[in-house]
Amino acid sequence: MPIRTKTNKKRARASRIAGGAMTAMVSASVIFGGPQAQGRTQKPALHGRHWMAVTGKPLAATAGAKIFEQGGNAVDAACAMIAATSTMWDTLSWGGETQALIYNPNTGKVIGINALGVAPTGATPEYFHKLGMQYPPEFGPLAAVTPGTPGGLMTMLAEYGTMTLGQVLAPAIEMADGYPMEAELVNTIEHYKAQLKQWPDSKRVMLVHAGKEHEAPEPGEIFRQPDLAATLRKLVQAENKALAAGKDRRSAIYAAYERFYRGDIARELTAAVRDLGGLFTNEDLANWKVKIEQPVHTRYKGVDVYKLTTWVQGPVMLQTLNILEHFDLKAMGYDSAQYIHTLYQAMNLAYADRDFYYGDPDFSPAPPIKGLLSKDYARERAKLVRPDRNDPDIRPGDPYPFEGGKNPYLSILEQWHTKMPAPTPTSMTEFDRTFRLGTTSVEAADDKGWAVSVTPSGGWVPAVIAGRTGIGLSQRMQSFVLDARENPYNVLAPGKRPRATLTPSLALKEDKPFLVFSVQGGDTQDQNLLQFFLNIVEFGMTVQEATEAANITSYQLRDSFGAHQSFPGRLTLNTATPPWVRKELTRMGYGLEFEERSSGPINAIFLDQAHGTLWGGSSNHGEDYGIGW
């Protein structure tokens, strides 16, 4: 059962649009330039009257559509899409983590779902230091926190859905029995096959042509996961047994929850992990709980933006919006040099606070979220934005006076700096590999008023598969630090949640759902989501235009993966950026890089309150897809 608290590139060819009499599908599109380019997107926005489902894979979006067509609400559909993307290894697996924002039309409130796993027993800084590690490892059994996605899905469904677990898992079970694998996953498995061979069950499941030159499945080949299918069927069996005994829908779903975390599935998973050298215990799984939380929010230009709290990076977007309130962005002009400079500086001020203050709020001292989101604190931070040059050493501020407290880590704060060791070609390559580590996103909304944003992740290839459970384990442990001088709120401890990059977003206007949006891409997520939001609110773009529009990327923040590096002044721009803008930004001290597609793989739904309809948008990165009716 959950406990309730008051507190939460990849790149591939764009998919084609397909449609029929009953459904419309939309994939990625591209736009270069600002509002003057409106209406010139690669693909049109998706329109729907009754429901909208957008996620990381076409088949997974179809799973959501199937649930809607059977009468489910947006929560039911979101759960089916989480299950499908997890089964398809869409930069996640079933042993990863899930976090969500849900608008409940029955209460008029936004709810947060915290289904991030925790560090297992024995996972301490001292343990990893003895292994000669500066951070927990990126891959392997020691990189895993406890599985969160099964519990998160079941809690969402039990509390806010309308269907049974069997109904919602049916598409995923059918896919686990066998589905045609897409080229993107084929290439990822083949790329990481050396790592996969370290773990017997990962090798057995993933490398179906072992010993041949190409060991991964072929594109279009039926990929079968009988162990995973059996585990999912065990969950449905537990639900059916409870229903047969007279339990109601909600209680029956929690019977399946119990079997995963305290029954035979938990024992088999723990034994498999420990056989591989991992630290999980049965108690770690049994004691873990999904949390239903009150999210944090801020208001910008009459729009209330909701995020999960400091156990993810979500509040960083809210902080940045609070800072940007003190600048006339619209007058600067879309993607002008001054606009780009101001965004870069404001984001870095907020990210410096993220890098120092964010962590699990259940551990004392809790991060000072009230001060961090104070409008007065944002006003003081905004004064630090230099109008003429980049500041390569933006540091965290002290939000404690803005919530009436005293900073318990003032001595660490005074010595903290953004300057990192000089980059080498190896470190730069490693940084670029990890900085945008992906996830997927799940967006759903319906005509009953339900709206859901989810960014499930963890257990991406190469993942350890835990024995015959078929469950791929998380790699989220690497987001902890082992030295309090880096971030005293995010130091590894047993039972603690690492500060993750995952950041679903939900915005209300006049107390009704306005935007449902999220994106994959590690530390770039809230950078892309911020610019998407401003594209709509400041520059009047449609949801599809905003998902495709040119974004910038800062690398001045500290990477949440790998060696946690930072590269101040480094700036990615779209290739369509005019030469005079490039010249001015270079004069301001930026090192420029360029990408043809720079928006990030944003998925979003705009709820058109004036017409009572739904608009879907999906960027031109990867295989993200939407279906609406």
Total domain count, the chain: 2
Nearest alpha-carbon partner for 376 in 392, 399, 395: 399
DSSP calls for 493-507: -TTPPP-B----EEE
Pairing relationship of beta strands 570-574 and 591-595 according to DSSP bridges: parallel
Q: Please check whether residues 248 and 277 belong to one and the same domain.
A: yes
CA atoms within 13 A on the CB side of 451: 29
Q: Please check whether residues 126 and 203 belong to one and the same domain.
A: yes
Residue 493 located in a structural domain: no
Residues 6+ apart with CB under 8 A from 588: 337, 341, 388, 389, 390
Please give the Cα distance from 53 to 120 (Å, whole number): 35
pLDDT at residue 30, as a whole number: 31
Residue 342 located in a structural domain: yes
- CA angle in degrees (0–180, nearest 5) for 478-484-485: 110
pLDDT at residue 15, as a whole number: 31
Q: Please check whether residues 538 and 578 belong to one and the same domain.
A: yes
Per residue in 212-227, pLDDT (tens digit) is 999 999 999 999 999 9
Pairing relationship of beta strands 625-628 and 51-55 according to DSSP bridges: antiparallel
SS3 (DSSP) at 519: strand
Residue 341 located in a structural domain: yes
SS3 (DSSP) at 222: strand
pLDDT at residue 433, as a whole number: 67
- What range defines the domain where residue 234 resides? 3-8+69-293+451-479
Nearest alpha-carbon partner for 442 in 155, 99, 113: 99
Residue 43 located in a structural domain: no
Q: Please check whether residues 155 and 265 belong to one and the same domain.
A: yes
Please give the Cα distance from 345 to 615 (Å, whole number): 32
Q: Please check whether residues 460 and 532 belong to one and the same domain.
A: no
Instruction: Yes or no: say if 2 and 290 are a contact pair by the CB < 8 Å rule.
Output: yes
Residue 161 located in a structural domain: yes
Residue 417 located in a structural domain: yes
Per residue in 129-152, pLDDT (tens digit) is 999 999 999 999 999 999 999 999
Q: Please check whether residues 421 and 544 belong to one and the same domain.
A: yes
pLDDT at residue 426, as a whole number: 64
Cα(first)–Cα(last) distance of the chain, in Å?
34
pLDDT at residue 2, as a whole number: 44
**What average pLDDT values come out for the chain (629 residues) when binned by 10 residues?**
38 30 30 44 90 95 98 98 96 95 98 98 97 95 97 98 98 98 95 96 98 97 98 98 98 98 98 96 98 98 98 98 98 97 98 97 98 98 96 96 97 82 65 70 97 96 97 96 96 98 96 96 91 97 95 91 86 96 97 92 95 95 89
Residue 340: phi and psi, rounded to 5, are: -60, -45
Q: Please check whether residues 288 and 323 belong to one and the same domain.
A: no
Please give the Cα distance from 443 to 506 (Å, whole number): 10
Residue 265: phi and psi, rounded to 5, are: -65, -45
pLDDT at residue 419, as a whole number: 59
Q: Please check whether residues 363 and 409 belong to one and the same domain.
A: yes
Looking up residue 333, the CATH number of its domain turns out to be 1.10.246.130
Residue 145 located in a structural domain: yes
Q: Please check whether residues 336 and 283 belong to one and the same domain.
A: no
pLDDT at residue 91, as a whole number: 87
- Residue 449 DSSP label: S
pLDDT at residue 16, as a whole number: 27
Q: Please check whether residues 287 and 381 belong to one and the same domain.
A: no
Query: Taken in order 544, 548, 554, 558, is the CA torsion positive or negative?
Result: positive
Whole-Å CA distances, 231 to 32, 150, 177, 261, 522: 46, 11, 12, 12, 29
Residue 29 located in a structural domain: no
Q: Please check whether residues 137 and 187 belong to one and the same domain.
A: yes
Please give the Cα distance from 457 to 443 (Å, whole number): 14
Assigned token pair, 85: 């993307």
Strand order in the sheet with 512-519: 46-48, 613-618, 602-608, 512-519, 505-509, 303-307, 296-300
Number of neighbouring beta carbons within 10 Å of residue 187: 13
Amino acid identity, position 154: M
Q: Please check whether residues 169 and 220 belong to one and the same domain.
A: yes
pLDDT at residue 418, as a whole number: 62
Instruction: Yes or no: say if 295 and 305 are a contact pair by the CB < 8 Å rule.
Output: no
pTM of the model: 0.92
Instruction: Yes or no: say if 149 and 235 are a contact pair by the CB < 8 Å rule.
Output: no
Please give the Cα distance from 177 to 317 (Å, whole number): 40
